[in-house]
Amino acid sequence: MDTAEYRAQLQQSILRSDIVKIFDNLLTIAVEEGASDIHIEPLENYSRIRLRIDWVLQELIQYPRSLHESVISKFKIESGQMRPDEKRLPQDARVSSVTQTNKEIDLRANTLPTVWWEKLVMRIVDKSKPIPALNTLGIVGTNKDSIEKHLQDPNGIILNTGPTGSWKTTTLYAALSEINDIERNIITYEDPVENKMEGLNQSQVRSDIGYTFLSGLRSALRQDPDVIMVWEIRDQETLEMAMESAMTWHLVFSTIHTNSAIETLTRAYNLWAKPFMVAGTFNLVIAQRLCRWICPNCKWKINVKTDPRYLNALETFKEFDREALKIELQKRGITGEEWSNFVKEGVVAMWTGKDPKTGNVCPVCMGSGYKWRVWIYELMDYTDDIKNLVLDNKSAFEIGHYALSKWMIDLERDGIFKIMKWMTTIDELYRFVRLRNKK
Ligand SMILES: [Zn+2]
């Protein structure tokens, strides 16, 4: 996507102090470049705008401090939800807008009083973004089999966990579109409705008028649903209601805030779920992270044999059932050569940022080393043996350990397989995977 023209316009509107134009151009650039957040921030001697693209902040432009106050006040006034004269307290606003490229977006904005002035952060929800097909997200091998199996379940709960910005709702949308057919009544309770999908009954909750995820779930059963999606489970009542719906022959999708699929069990217990309820309703728990895809043009190999992260990676295969591992490699199409390159030679892909032919800055990734994204997935399949361990009051730690010794693919394993395939790098994976404690 070429946004050079809008960048030039942004530059111009800053020179002319045309605040309306600044916002128009800024939003367009951000959406076209796939940014998730815009940071408009004052520093001691100047102000700057940064965009978060694929989880990493990048500077878009700097502008004079003298312009900063007008930029922030203009936004506060336009939002209609912030008080322009209040500069000492953080404020929130939600705004809908349309870019110059005709894309509908929602913004969730927040101001923060800093020592230099107020900073404004806007989260972007691009409502025109098409939902990718489930099979393009990177759910492969055993993970793929598990999700395909559970999408056919008549009842139970499928949860997705992951930090904000990991696109977990994209996975849920993609999963729902797989089962979106004439025979199923699918109801969703969302905040916000990110994508409008044909055939779904999507409802925007409004907690300001008492329409919450919980009250939505309570009334769902009177809408004769087969499948219910509730955006987020945050409290005991919502979890209970979701479990009740799952026990009365509905398939329930939701997200929950935890660090991993395994830890979700602990979170459910903290929300007062009982083991028999978990065993009776949990079908599948997904965890996901967003990684950047290594640039295909300038990737090259390096040897990481002494890198502690590489040594950490090798450890994970020690507790992996040999037979299950063999099957996993087969399912993922990892060749004997790819396996031995990694395990025996310690060779992985790294980017150079330089065009291999000319030696100049790589034209594909602009020298950043990455292009596009790939997701790393962890799927905890609540199979009968897992349910039995839950009923035996085993801890999440013990259950996780058991699953990993059998067939489970956690974030680290999925990431390592993708590193073997030269899709991403050790740097990307170990931004979010913790190294094991060495004795
Ligand atoms: Zn490149």
d(CA 165, CA 33): 15
pLDDT recorded at residue 194: 81
Return the structure tokens found at 90: 């953080």
Find the 370 Cα to ligand 1 centroid distance in Å. 6
Find the 435 Cα to ligand 1 centroid distance in Å. 28
Q: Bridge partners of 94?
A: 108
List, for residues 292-313, the tens digit of each pLDDT value.
Answer: 999 999 999 999 999 999 999 9
- Domain boundaries for CATH 3.30.450.90 within the chain: 4-126
pLDDT at 324 over 90: yes
Find the 292 Cα to ligand 1 centroid distance in Å. 12
Find the 358 Cα to ligand 1 centroid distance in Å. 12
d(CA 218, CA 245): 9
Find the 191 Cα to ligand 1 centroid distance in Å. 37
Q: Which phi and psi (to 5°) does residue 168 adopt?
A: -65, -30
Per-residue HEC secondary structure of 44-71 comes to CCEEEEEEEECCEEEEEEEEEHHHHHHH
**Cis peptide leading into residue 363 (ω within 30°):** no
The percentage of residues in the chain with a pLDDT greater than 70, rounded to a whole number, is 99
pLDDT recorded at residue 439: 46
Find the 416 Cα to ligand 1 centroid distance in Å. 21
Find the 135 Cα to ligand 1 centroid distance in Å. 26
Region 73-98 average pLDDT: 92
Find the 294 Cα to ligand 1 centroid distance in Å. 8
Distances (CA, A) of 437 to 168, 171, 312: 29, 32, 10
CA angle 287, 103, 290 (to 5 degrees): 20
- Domain boundaries for CATH 3.40.50.300 within the chain: 134-290+375-399
User: pTM (2 decimals)?
Assistant: 0.84
Find the 427 Cα to ligand 1 centroid distance in Å. 16
d(CA 258, CA 269): 12
Q: Transcribe 307-318 into DSSP letters.
A: -HHHHHHHHTTT
Find the 275 Cα to ligand 1 centroid distance in Å. 49
Find the 352 Cα to ligand 1 centroid distance in Å. 7
Find the 48 Cα to ligand 1 centroid distance in Å. 26
**Residue 344 gets which letter from DSSP?**
I
List, for residues 232-280, the tens digit of each pLDDT value.
Answer: 999 999 999 999 999 999 999 999 999 899 999 999 999 999 999 999 9
pLDDT at 55 over 80: no
Which top CATH class is 4-126? alpha beta
pLDDT recorded at residue 166: 82
Find the 365 Cα to ligand 1 centroid distance in Å. 4
The percentage of residues in the chain with a pLDDT greater than 90, rounded to a whole number, is 83
Find the 371 Cα to ligand 1 centroid distance in Å. 7
Find the 258 Cα to ligand 1 centroid distance in Å. 34
Which top CATH class is 134-290+375-399? alpha beta
Find the 149 Cα to ligand 1 centroid distance in Å. 38
Find the 373 Cα to ligand 1 centroid distance in Å. 14
List, for residues 132-153, the tens digit of each pLDDT value.
Answer: 899 999 999 999 999 999 999 9
For residues 265 and 399, the answer to whether their CB atoms sit within 8 Å is: yes
